[in-house]
Amino acid sequence: MSGARMQRSIFPLLGVVVLLCLWQGYTALSGISQIVLPSPYDIGLVSIEQFHLLLQATWPTLVETVLGFALALLIGVPLAVSVANSRLLNLGLYPILVATQSIPKVAIAPIILVWFGLGIESKLALAFLVAFFPVVVDTATGLKATPPGLLELAHSLRASPLQIFMKVQMPAALPFVFAGAKVAITLAVIGAVIGEFVGSVAGLGNLVLSANAQLEGPLAWAALLWLSVLGILLFSAIALAERLLMPWQGTGRH
């Protein structure tokens, strides 16, 4: 068993190390320009040298992402509840939801920028727009997938609609809400960066653009690296919240 566990932790690491070695080797042997493809070593070096700058750029992106995601939850979950519980709302709202979702967010970004300006608001709006859909869809799916046996039990006890919702439907939907939230948080990072690309004065996306424009390849790549680390950390935070809020998940699989 412990051998299998060792394998599980060693092999992903090994994959990364091999990739980095190949990358480093290629940049060293081919003599490719730093602007086009910096070596992992250069990226790491810049990450340390420009730590302060990167940290400064991370903060706005983090705020945009988290607020956009929070807004997506705040609006998405109640919307999912109404869609799941009312046939009319479902019929009336779902097509609009799907339609808004099929608009490419990159295409709508310039318009959002005109509406909300260069500040944090436009990025927040974009992060919200991309994060919102998976939250609604997964939550609504979860609410509709309440085990019929539990509903019948509640019915046999004459539970009120509010009790059924709070004590049966919502807890039963919680794993779905978290599944949606995990997708949403990673999408929110993308939304924030799209906003920063279209027009901004700060943030990691902004840094990628400006570093690229100034031919500072390693810095642009370092900003990218920080972006992916940000995404991973935010995802892990949601996963942690999931474990804390649903301690029953994972029990029984001895």
Q: Which residues bind other proteins (CB under 8 A)?
A: 147, 149-150, 152-159, 163, 167-168, 171-172, 174, 246-248, 251-253
Instruction: Indicate the residue among 87 and 254 with the shorter CB distance to other proteins.
Output: 254
Locus of tokens 């005109």: 114
Instruction: Indicate the residue among 5 and 253 with the shorter CB distance to other proteins.
Output: 253
Cα torsion 34, 40, 42, 43 to 10°: value is 100
Cα torsion 241, 247, 252, 254 to 10°: value is 70
Instruction: Indicate the residue among 3 and 149 with the shorter CB distance to other proteins.
Output: 149
| Min dist. Cβ of residue 171 to other proteins (A) | 5
| Min dist. Cβ of residue 154 to other proteins (A) | 7
Give 54's contacts (C-beta < 8 A, 6+ positions apart): 47, 204, 207, 222, 223, 226
Instruction: Indicate the residue among 44 and 171 with the shorter CB distance to other proteins.
Output: 171
Instruction: Indicate the residue among 150 and 224 with the shorter CB distance to other proteins.
Output: 150
| Min dist. Cβ of residue 165 to other proteins (A) | 13
Locus of tokens 């779902």: 94
| Min dist. Cβ of residue 56 to other proteins (A) | 42
| Min dist. Cβ of residue 82 to other proteins (A) | 23
Give 46's contacts (C-beta < 8 A, 6+ positions apart): 38, 218, 219, 221, 222
| Tokens (6 digits) for 105 | 């967010």
